[in-house]
Amino acid sequence: MFTNSTLFSFNEGKTSNKDVEIYYRDYGPINAEPILLVQGLGGQLINWPQHLIEFLLENNFRPIVFDNRDTGLSSRIESDSFNDKKRSNTIIKSYVKYYLRLPIKSEYTIDDMADDAISVLDELKISKAHILGISMGGMIAQIIAANYPLRTKTFTLIASTASTPSPLNGPTRNVRKLLMERTKNPNSTIDEKVNRTKRLFKEIGYQGINLDTEEFYENISAAIDRGGKDDTGFSRQLTAILGSKNRLDKVSSIKAPTLIIHGEGDPLIKVKNAYKSNKLIKNSKLIVLPEMRHLIEPPVFEKFKENLLVHLASVK
């Protein structure tokens, strides 16, 4: 869910991976157990649920969050293929290739985004951290755990997939349509963007939560304002996902203790992906939640927070 973090104190700064600047937030305290949280498609560091950050702080963890490249205050990757006139056609062509299982050219890879995350740990002089990723962030976190085993204490994979996306394990038609709306309408008004986000959250989120509130509107508006008018990064991230190389060999090499959490009725990434990840990662535990869809709202978090705590406490 989109939440603000005004109840917490934190330090913010920038680091860089080659010529890409990554903006991060460190909630501290410096002597607590560091845990790096990796956001999903289009998500900013301010979009992590307040209840998750609060839970980690209360249990002596040090949450560190950041804007992936092409979101928030991190660098935008310039590309002529994704200007306002061309990007809709670029995404449509990518989806056609996606369904035909043809190679897709992207401006950068999931591996590049994993290196961005490591640059945050380097900047903060953290040699080893717990790694938690959700959705696309889970794909990035898989690469961190596989490529940087000595930097990974534990790995938590939420609502994600180890496989290259395909028509069999990807989003439902309604979700795909809502995602495509964002790529086609870069110049939407604030109200249009908030309503589009609301419709997406109703499709992928916990059933029964009221999103027709002033708080939801203000939080989404704040995120839109913080991210700026250039929303082309969402399309580039989506293309990076569609064009990512098969990660199965890398995922099967993960040795860190792993907790996999997935919603039984996830309409964005089908639950079969969680079972596959559990099979690939030998040192892993799988929790499938009937109530969960794709987000970690308070009622969902209540169902697995103690399991998460036990998992994180298993390695210090």
pLDDT at 58 over 60: yes
Specify the 3-state DSSP secondary structure of 132: strand
pLDDT at 101: 64
CB neighbours of 9 closer than 8 A, spacing ≥ 6? Answer: 27, 28
pLDDT at 80 over 60: no
Residue range 128-185, pLDDT digits in tens: 999 999 999 999 999 999 999 999 999 999 999 998 766 677 788 888 888 888 777 6
Average pLDDT over residues 215-231: 89
Specify the 3-state DSSP secondary structure of 18: coil
pLDDT at 78: 80
Residue 222: Cβ-neighbour burial (10 angstroms; 0-12, 13-18, 19+): middle
E-strand spans in the chain? 11-17, 20-26, 33-38, 61-66, 129-134, 152-158, 258-263, 284-289
Residue range 185-207, pLDDT digits in tens: 666 788 988 999 999 999 999 98
Query: Residue 235 corresponds to which amino acid?
Result: S
Residue 242 — pLDDT band, cuts 50, 70, 90?
Answer: confident
Question: How much of the chain exceeds pLDDT 70, in percent?
Answer: 87
State the CATH class of domain 11-313: alpha beta
Residue 2 — pLDDT band, cuts 50, 70, 90?
Answer: very low
Residue pair 315/257 in contact by the 8 Å Cβ criterion: yes
Q: What is the mean pLDDT of the chain?
A: 89
Residue range 248-276, pLDDT digits in tens: 999 999 999 999 999 999 999 999 999 99
CA dist 95 and 79 (Å) reads 18
Query: Residue 236 corresponds to which amino acid?
Result: R
pLDDT at 5: 45
Residue pair 171/269 in contact by the 8 Å Cβ criterion: yes
Take residue 64 and report the two structure tokens written for it.
């560190």
pLDDT at 95 over 80: no
**More confident call, 105 vs 280:** 280
Nearest to 68 by CA among 29, 120, 107: 120
CA 146 to chain centre: 17
pLDDT at 166: 67
pLDDT at 182: 76
